[in-house]
């Protein structure tokens, strides 16, 4: 059974930075297109960024130029480096596969507020 833990969230001021991590317990991570998602009370869960096993990256327009996704395959960790954070980035962030998704984890909360 897959286990994964999202971490790295917190409270920051606008313009600040955070790095989120998602540690995955199964080798399936290495062969799957992975993504970071986020959900706020006002919106449905949305894809923030994805990365394929070959390293092809896609980033949502709303975070382009500010967020970067990368993975450490040897450690089975997915990262999301977030900078120039805005209040609208406030959400709970989750990681998961892009398709045939695992059950969702607890996520990690990011709050951007002055």
Q: What is the pLDDT of residue 1?
A: 79
Whole-number pLDDT of residue 42: 85
* CA distance readout (Å), 105 to 15, 22, 24, 29: 27, 10, 11, 15
DSSP 67-81: EEEEEETTTTEEEEE
What is the pLDDT at residue 7? 97
Residue-level pLDDT, tens digit, the chain, 114 residues = 778 899 999 999 999 999 999 999 888 888 999 999 999 988 899 999 999 999 999 999 999 999 999 999 999 999 999 999 999 999 999 999 999 999 999 999 999 999
**Would you state the pLDDT for residue 90?**
97
Report the alpha-carbon distance of residue 30 to residue 27 in Å, rounded. 6
| pLDDT at site 62 | 96
The pLDDT assigned to 112 comes to 98
Residue 70, Cβ neighbours under 10 Å: how many? 13
């Amino acid at each position: 059974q897959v286990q994964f833990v999202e971490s790295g969230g917190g409270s920051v001021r606008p313009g600040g930075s955070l790095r989120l991590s998602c540690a995955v317990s199964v080798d399936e991570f290495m062969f799957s297109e992975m993504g970071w998602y986020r959900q706020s009370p006002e919106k449905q869960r949305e894809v923030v960024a994805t990365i394929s096993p070959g390293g092809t990256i896609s980033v949502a327009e709303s975070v382009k130029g500010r967020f970067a996704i990368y993975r450490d395959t040897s450690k089975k960790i997915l990262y999301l480096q977030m900078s120039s954070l805005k209040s609208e980035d406030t959400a709970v962030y989750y990681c998961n596969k892009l398709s045939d998704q695992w059950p969702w984890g607890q996520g990690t909360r990011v709050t951007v507020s002055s």
